Amino acid sequence: MRNNNSERKSLKIVIKAQILSRNNAILNRRLEDYLRQLEQKVQELTISLGQIETRLQEEIEQNQEARATFQRLKQELQNLATIDSLTQIPNRRRFDEYLNQEWDRLTREQEPLSLLLCDVDFFKRYNDTYGHQAGDSCLRIVAQTISRTAKRASDLVARYGGEEFTVILPNTNLSGAIKIAEAIQQQIENLQILHPQSDVSEFVTVSIGVVSQVPTLNDSVENLIAKADRALYLAKAQGRNRVVVAE
């Protein structure tokens, strides 16, 4: 009987071991299947994330290009509004803005503001003699020459209209303004642009009106411009090719 009991116990152990082995095999297969599925999902997600990253990078680059294009167009619009198309220097609108800005600032600081009005002498005769293309070229050269002479960062040279140019000289007293005006006059004549129809020189010359004052609340930008304009008128009336200071 003892042998039979022992055999039965052994048989049960063997059967349990076989069942456990089969269960383990089934579990292992399921685990392997799960791991394969999980690995496949990871691969799919990795590919998907790579595609998303690529699209995001493309969108970032497109946004950067769009931003750069926007900034360029914005600058072009600003130039159209404030730059003279012929001479490529500030136009009358920019002149008005800047003069008012500096007038207000220097009123607060009680520092001098000077203004020059320049006119190309007998320019209509030059145009009639050489044609409009030559006239345009002359104006461009004059504009660049004035800009090179009044060259501080705070100075502003603008085309006032036609053959007239203006120079805003912040924090500049009368003697400094006269010095700049005479330098402009000399630099223009040194260009030696032939002008046989001029009554004052064989070359292109300019007449310049100068005004300088410390801005006050009781005065105005309009009065400053009017003074410079009267000085320019006197320069032309007195024979042109000269600098006249407003009284």
The domain in which residue 27 lies consists of 1-82
Instruction: Please say whether the beta carbons of 155 and 136 come within 8 A.
Output: no
Are 29 and 58 found together in one domain?
Answer: yes
Instruction: Please say whether the beta carbons of 193 and 234 come within 8 A.
Output: no
Are 42 and 11 found together in one domain?
Answer: yes
Q: What is the pLDDT of residues 131-189, one digit of tens each?
A: 999 999 999 999 999 999 999 999 999 999 999 999 999 999 999 999 999 999 999 99
Are 67 and 184 found together in one domain?
Answer: no
Q: Which residue has the higher pLDDT, 2 or 11?
A: 11
Residue 18 has pLDDT above 80, yes or no: no
pLDDT at 4: 60
Q: How far apart are CA 166 and CA 158, in angstroms?
A: 5
Does this model's pTM top 0.85? no
The last residue of one of the domains, among 82, 106, 127, is 82
Active site residues: 163
Total of domains in the chain: 2
Are 228 and 140 found together in one domain?
Answer: yes
Q: What CATH number did the domain enclosing 98 receive?
A: 3.30.70.270
Mean pLDDT of the 4-32 span: 66
Q: What is the pLDDT of residues 118-130, one digit of tens each?
A: 999 999 999 999 9
- Tell me which residue has tokens 């800009």: 147
pLDDT at 98: 98
Residues 6+ apart with CB under 8 A from 27: none
- How many helices (H) does the chain have, and how many strands (E)? 6, 5
Q: Does 87 reside within a domain?
A: no
DSSP 240: S
Q: What is the pLDDT of residues 176-225, one digit of tens each?
A: 999 999 999 999 999 999 999 999 999 999 999 999 999 999 999 999 99
pLDDT at 182: 98
Are 140 and 69 found together in one domain?
Answer: no
Positive or negative, the CA dihedral 81, 86, 90, 92 is negative
Are 67 and 182 found together in one domain?
Answer: no
The last residue of one of the domains, among 31, 51, 82, is 82
The last residue of one of the domains, among 34, 62, 82, is 82
Are 56 and 160 found together in one domain?
Answer: no
Are 185 and 239 found together in one domain?
Answer: yes
Instruction: Please say whether the beta carbons of 184 and 146 come within 8 A.
Output: yes
Q: What is the pLDDT of residues 46-102, one digit of tens each?
A: 788 788 888 888 877 777 776 777 676 665 566 568 999 999 999 999 999 999 999
> Mean pLDDT, the chain, as a whole number?
88
Q: Does 126 reside within a domain?
A: yes
Instruction: Please say whether the beta carbons of 229 and 209 come within 8 A.
Output: yes
Are 241 and 171 found together in one domain?
Answer: yes
